[in-house]
A and B are shown apart, each in its own frame.
Chain A
Amino acid sequence: EAQVTQNPRYLITVTGKKLTVTCSQNMNHEYMSWYRQDPGLGLRQIYYSMNVEVTDKGDVPEGYKVSRKEKRNFPLILESPSPNQTSLYFCASSLRRGGVLEQYFGPGTRLTVT
């Protein structure tokens, strides 16, 4: 079954404690990205990756890091989490088919930073 998986699904942590949210896709897609979702602000892209070792900033990259060492994995790293990073995070995997963008989203990770 084609899917995007994220782990963990829920996480409560404290300010300053480094954490990693994993994202994996089994569709051999080149493009992957991370979004955060906050009330009233909709979905905002954090980082994206166009292929292995190619990443770039989205609209809200501050406080986050990513890496793309393998095509299937795109982890999101918070080196020193702060309460303003409390949010719902989505990973997405995409391909272009005939010029049209097909995006598949993971189930989400709800992060609380105290």
Chain B
Amino acid sequence: DAKTTQPTSMDCAEGRAANLPCNHSTISGNEYVYWYRQIHSQGPQYIIHGLKNNETNEMASLIITEDRKSSTLILPHATLRDTAVYYCFRDAGGTSYGKLTFGQGTILTVHP
């Protein structure tokens, strides 16, 4: 039972915005949405996270729908170096730790 679902792969032209969707329809009120990416076979790296509001940092923007059932990661001007696997996952905040489920991720290919 996947906690998040993402498209298997997407393409994007260099210089254009890449919009990567994630469905998390069963998300609870206290769960954050996180995005990580993995370039080649390196260790995944954090991109951004959000709870309710849209978020932006130097790497990307995160748009969360009002019902919080889905979100979109936006890379505003994709470059060839953004070709990677992008993972979205959800985790309850607070102070405790537990099992984490990443899922399959989306392979984003940025082409010239």
Contacts from A to B (Cβ < 8 Å): 4, 30-31, 33, 35, 37, 40-45, 48, 50, 56-59, 88, 90, 92, 94, 96, 99-103, 105-108, 110
Contact = CB atoms under 8 A, between A and B. Distances in A.
A58 B99 contact: yes
A42 B22 CA distance: 14
A42 B100 contact: no
23 contacts: A37-B41, A41-B104, A42-B102, A42-B103, A42-B105, A43-B44, A45-B99, A45-B102, A48-B98, A48-B100, A50-B97, A57-B99, A59-B101, A88-B41, A90-B43, A92-B43, A96-B95, A99-B94, A99-B95, A100-B49, A103-B100, A105-B43, A105-B45
B46 A43 contact: no
B102 A44 contact: yes
B93 A99 contact: yes
Contacts of B103: 42-43
A31 B104 contact: no
Nearest to B43: A105
Given A99-B93, A99-B94, A101-B32, A56 B43 contact: no
Contact of A40 (B46, B93, B104): B104
Contacts of B95: 96, 99
Interface string B40-84: 011111100100000000000000000000000000000000000
A56 B45 contact: no
Contacts of A41: 104
B41 to A, nearest CB: 6
Contacts of A33: 100
B46 A103 contact: yes
B91 interface: yes
Contacts of B94: 96, 99
A4 B87 CA distance: 20
Q: Nearest 8 pairs between A and B by C-beta?
A: A105-B43, A99-B93, A42-B104, A43-B102, A31-B97, A50-B97, A42-B105, A105-B44
Contact of B43 (A42, A99, A106): A106
Given A43-B44, A88-B41, A103-B46, 20 more contacts: A31-B97, A35-B102, A37-B41, A40-B104, A42-B85, A42-B87, A42-B103, A43-B103, A45-B101, A45-B102, A57-B99, A59-B101, A90-B44, A92-B43, A96-B93, A99-B93, A100-B32, A100-B93, A105-B44, A108-B42
